[in-house]
């Protein structure tokens, strides 16, 4: 009897494993998602899938290293970019459970280098991307740093963030992604624990979970056996595109799809962290207006085809990654890719479509698009849509024009693909023009999946004269960036010369505001009628101050 009883756990384990295996048809369908990425002449992806904590599918497609002919395997190590954030948040939360800090501590208690903005910014604000602190990557780019060519360090980030005179918004009032907040979390973890984030994470997270091929990469020159290279497509074929920075917390996790499945299972097993912490990590923050931010501890919260899902994506240089967990279905998917055009979030949800078939809500029916493409939207309708649309909360604006029968986002010179008379696709986002379908739109909504990421109202476009433009030309200095920009009047209009970056044309948008493409929105400031400076706004940075070197009439 004792012998039989001893065999019961083994039999249960065997039956559980058998119940988690995939059928041949499921395997073929998942293979088909990644089949276009396979081959010896291109980079690709690794994918891992688990059911109820048991890995059921782990495969590699494409090449890890094109120069040496090394294929991708489930054990290949990838830089997973912003997937790193949940680990930085979790490390700080563990320190809070240890009683070493509180997530409601003011950030300046631990990082006194930050300015006093006259309002309370907490560690929790950093975690939720609701602090209002400007984003490090955009700040460094505005200051002339070139990514990924230049080496960034933690000290570089702390230095430039500490020089900012303003916040993007009052803490808690908005959700705007800020990598700076997560670099600050890594700095806080080190100052509180006395250990680097790499050491602390190994001791408290990776080690206990058996994540043997995972570490926080804090030395860009360190040799890592099994690491993939990353690529982007150039004019002569694939070229290497790997990040070179020694900043972490917001990024720089090196891991495998197999190890990421172990991490996802921790939210079920509770091996690391209390049940309260694990629940809070996947609970969305609420803004001061009561609306959800759809973001927890470095984890996005979403509903995919009716199923609750938790996950996060990542993108740095040529690396792309995505992890997603469907707790109600016991399903977790991790995808890591090493080429810039990869869409791991789309691939991961395609895997979910296969394995949760019949248990998800139907996909929304896509509007019918005429085969003629641009001809599916009349020239008269495109002319109605063309114009300038501005954010109600900041200086950002989009300008649309009709060129060669297409609607073009002139900020970047990018054409939009029509879906119907109201919806257009650009950068993987749906642009929905609001208002009567047969009249001039009153605004625009930018929708990613089921989430509205931005809304803008239509405004009157400015048309300054050449004499008015001449008053804006000159040299401008930013004390926050420690960099000088020059505004020049040419035959083609105003041109913005940026330090160590290509010059860009400034397109009139609205009163005293100009669109500079990737440079952002430039809004000139007047004092007693004189142009005394301008404010520079990008996607994650608002109102950076530039002062005119010499004031002209």
Which domain-ending residue is among 355, 389, 405? 355
Whether 317 and 386 share a structural domain: no
Q: What is the pLDDT of residue 2?
A: 42
Whether 151 and 212 share a structural domain: yes
Whether 162 and 309 share a structural domain: yes
Which domain-ending residue is among 355, 386, 421? 355
pLDDT tens-digit map of 136-177: 999 999 999 998 788 999 999 999 999 999 999 999 999 999
Do residues 548 and 475 lie in contact, with contact meaning Cβ atoms separated by under 8 Å? yes
Q: What is the pLDDT of residue 148?
A: 78
Asked if the structure places residue 33 within a domain, the reply is no
Task: Inform me whether the pLDDT recorded for 274 exceeds 50.
Answer: yes
Q: Which helix (H) or strand (E) holds 468?
A: helix 466-470
Asked if the structure places residue 487 within a domain, the reply is yes
Domain at 507, CATH number: 2.40.128.50
Q: What is the pLDDT of residue 15?
A: 36
pLDDT tens-digit map of 189-203: 999 999 999 999 999
What is the arithmetic mean of pLDDT over 408-437? 91
- Which domain does 520 fall in, by range? 466-548
Domain at 413, CATH number: 2.40.128
Q: What is the pLDDT of residue 26?
A: 97
Q: Provide the strand spans (E) within 168-261.
A: 215-216, 231-234, 237-240, 245-246, 253-255
Whether 225 and 320 share a structural domain: yes
- Lowest-confidence pick of 45-49, 242-246, 312-316: 242-246
Alpha carbons 491 and 409: distance in angstroms, whole number: 23
Task: Inform me whether the pLDDT recorded for 364 exceeds 80.
Answer: no
CA 435 to centroid of chain Cα atoms: 30
Whether 259 and 155 share a structural domain: yes
Instruction: Count other Cβ atoms within 10 Å, centred on residue 515.
Output: 25
Asked if the structure places residue 25 within a domain, the reply is no
Alpha carbons 272 and 280: distance in angstroms, whole number: 14
Q: What is the pLDDT of residue 31?
A: 98
Percent of the chain with pLDDT over 70: 93
C-alpha pair distances (Å), 372 with each of 253, 369, 403: 45, 8, 16
What is 307-331 written as a DSSP string?
A: EEEEEEEEEETTEEEEEEEEGGGTE
Domain at 338, CATH number: 3.40.710.10
Q: What is the pLDDT of residue 1?
A: 39
Whether 443 and 475 share a structural domain: no
Taking CB atoms within 8 Å and a gap of at least 24, the contacts of 326-331 are 326/352, 326/356, 327/267, 327/268, 329/356, 329/359, 330/51, 330/52, 330/53, 330/268, 331/49, 331/50, 331/51, 331/355, 331/356
Whether 452 and 319 share a structural domain: no
Asked if the structure places residue 323 within a domain, the reply is yes
Give, in degrees to the nearest 5, the angle at Cα 298 between 297 and 304: 100
Do residues 90 and 273 lie in contact, with contact meaning Cβ atoms separated by under 8 Å? yes
CB within 8 Å of 151: residues ≥ 6 apart: 220, 244, 245, 246
Percent of the chain with pLDDT over 90: 89
Whether 477 and 401 share a structural domain: no
What is the arithmetic mean of pLDDT over 233-261? 96
Whether 403 and 308 share a structural domain: no
Residue 513: which of 543, 483, 480, 552 has the closest Cα?
Answer: 543
pLDDT band at 365 (very low <50, low <70, confident <90, very high): low
Do residues 134 and 248 lie in contact, with contact meaning Cβ atoms separated by under 8 Å? no
Asked if the structure places residue 48 within a domain, the reply is no
Whether 148 and 240 share a structural domain: yes
Burial class, 519, CB count within 10 angstroms (exposed 0-12 / middle 13-18 / buried 19+)? buried
Mean pLDDT across the chain: 93
pLDDT band at 90 (very low <50, low <70, confident <90, very high): very high
pLDDT tens-digit map of 27-62: 999 999 999 999 999 999 999 999 999 999 999 999
Asked if the structure places residue 53 within a domain, the reply is no
Q: What is the pLDDT of residue 448?
A: 78
Whether 94 and 162 share a structural domain: yes
Q: What is the pLDDT of residue 20?
A: 66
Q: Residue 106's beta-bridge partner residues? A: 122
521: its two tokens: 């929105």
Which domain-ending residue is among 414, 430, 459? 459
Looking up tokens 């009567």 gives 436
pLDDT band at 392 (very low <50, low <70, confident <90, very high): very high
Q: What is the pLDDT of residue 5?
A: 40
452: its two tokens: 């509205």
Task: Inform me whether the pLDDT recorded for 442 exceeds 60.
Answer: yes
Alpha carbons 81 and 242: distance in angstroms, whole number: 11
Cis bond leading into 442, ω under 30°?
A: no
Alpha carbons 355 and 319: distance in angstroms, whole number: 26
Do residues 208 and 91 lie in contact, with contact meaning Cβ atoms separated by under 8 Å? no
Question: Domain count of the chain?
Answer: 3
pLDDT band at 6 (very low <50, low <70, confident <90, very high): very low
Q: Is the pTM of this model over 0.85?
A: yes
Whether 377 and 483 share a structural domain: no
pLDDT tens-digit map of 483-507: 999 999 999 999 999 999 999 999 9
Alpha carbons 211 and 504: distance in angstroms, whole number: 46
Q: What is the pLDDT of residue 428?
A: 78
Alpha carbons 226 and 213: distance in angstroms, whole number: 9
Helix or strand or coil: residue 514? strand
Total count of residues recorded for the chain: 553
- Helices then strands (H, E): number in the chain? 14, 33
What is 277-312 written as a DSSP string?
A: HHHHHTS--B-TTS-B-SB-SS-EEEEETTEEEEEE
Alpha carbons 309 and 93: distance in angstroms, whole number: 21
pLDDT band at 3 (very low <50, low <70, confident <90, very high): very low
C-alpha pair distances (Å), 18 with each of 14, 52, 55, 59: 6, 12, 11, 19
Asked if the structure places residue 221 within a domain, the reply is yes
C-alpha pair distances (Å), 63 with each of 67, 319, 341, 491: 10, 13, 15, 49
Q: Residue 493's beta-bridge partner residues? A: 490
pLDDT band at 450 (very low <50, low <70, confident <90, very high): low
Alpha carbons 398 and 212: distance in angstroms, whole number: 46
Asked if the structure places residue 366 within a domain, the reply is no
Burial class, 297, CB count within 10 angstroms (exposed 0-12 / middle 13-18 / buried 19+)? buried
Task: Inform me whether the pLDDT recorded for 544 exceeds 70.
Answer: yes
Task: Inform me whether the pLDDT recorded for 11 exceeds 80.
Answer: no
536: its two tokens: 């520079």
Task: Inform me whether the pLDDT recorded for 362 exceeds 60.
Answer: yes
């Amino acid at each position: 009897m004792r012998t039989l009883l001893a065999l019961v756990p083994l039999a249960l384990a065997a039956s559980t494993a058998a119940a988690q295996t995939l059928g041949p048809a499921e395997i073929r369908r998942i293979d088909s998602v990644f089949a276009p990425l396979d081959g010896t002449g291109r980079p690709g992806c690794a994918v891992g899938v688990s059911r109820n904590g048991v890995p059921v599918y782990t495969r590699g497609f494409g090449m890890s290293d094109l120069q040496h002919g090394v294929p991708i395997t489930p054990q290949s190590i990838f830089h997973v970019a912003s997937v790193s954030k949940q680990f930085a948040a979790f490390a700080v939360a563990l320190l809070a459970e240890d009683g070493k800090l509180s997530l409601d501590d003011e950030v300046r208690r631990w990082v006194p280098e930050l300015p006093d903005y006259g309002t309370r910014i907490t560690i929790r604000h950093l975690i939720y991307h609701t602090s209002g602190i400007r984003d490090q990557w955009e700040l460094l780019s505005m200051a002339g740093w070139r990514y990924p060519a230049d080496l960034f360090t933690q000290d570089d980030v702390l230095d430039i963030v500490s020089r900012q005179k303003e916040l993007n918004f009052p803490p808690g009032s908005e959700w705007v992604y800020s990598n700076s907040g997560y670099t600050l979390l890594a700095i806080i973890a080190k100052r509180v624990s006395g250990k680097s984030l790499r050491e602390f994470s190994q001791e408290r997270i990776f080690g206990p979970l058996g994540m043997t091929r995972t570490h926080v990469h804090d030395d860009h020159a360190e040799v890592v056996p099994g690491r993939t290279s990353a690529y982007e497509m150039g004019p002569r074929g694939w070229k290497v595109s790997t990040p070179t920075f020694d900043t972490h917390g917001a990024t720089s996790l090196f891991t495998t799809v197999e190890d990421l499945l172990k991490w996802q299972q921790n939210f079920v097993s509770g091996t690391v962290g209390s049940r309260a912490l694990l629940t809070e990590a996947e609970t969305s923050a609420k803004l001061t207006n009561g609306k959800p931010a759809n973001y927890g501890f470095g984890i996005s919260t979403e509903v995919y085809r009716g199923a609750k899902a938790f996950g996060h994506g990542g993108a740095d240089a040529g690396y792309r990654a995505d992890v997603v967990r469907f707790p109600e279905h016991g399903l977790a998917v991790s995808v890591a890719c090493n080429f810039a055009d990869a869409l791991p979030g789309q691939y991961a949800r395609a895997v979910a479509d296969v394995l949760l078939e019949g248990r998800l809500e139907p996909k929304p029916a896509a509007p019918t698009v005429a085969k003629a493409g641009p001809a599916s939207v009349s020239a008269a309708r495109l002319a109605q849509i063309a114009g300038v649309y501005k954010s109600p909360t900041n200086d950002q604006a989009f300008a649309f024009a009709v060129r060669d029968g297409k609607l073009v986002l002139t900020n970047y010179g990018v054409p939009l693909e029509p879906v119907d008379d109201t919806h257009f696709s650009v950068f993987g986002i749906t642009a929905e023009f609001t208002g009567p379908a047969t009249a001039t739109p009153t605004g625009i909504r930018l929708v990613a999946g089921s989430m509205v990421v931005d809304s803008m109202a239509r405004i009157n476009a400015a048309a300054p004269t050449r004499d008015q433009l001449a008053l804006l030309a000159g040299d401008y200095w930013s004390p926050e960036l420690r960099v000088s920009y020059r505004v020049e009047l040419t035959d083609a209009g105003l041109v913005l010369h940026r330090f160590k970056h290509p010059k860009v044309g400034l397109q009139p948008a609205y009163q005293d505001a100009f669109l500079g493409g990737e440079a952002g929105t430039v809004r000139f400031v007047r004092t007693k009628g004189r142009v005394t400076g301008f404010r520079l706004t990008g996607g994650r940075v608002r109102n950076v101050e530039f002062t005119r070197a010499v004031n002209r009439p």
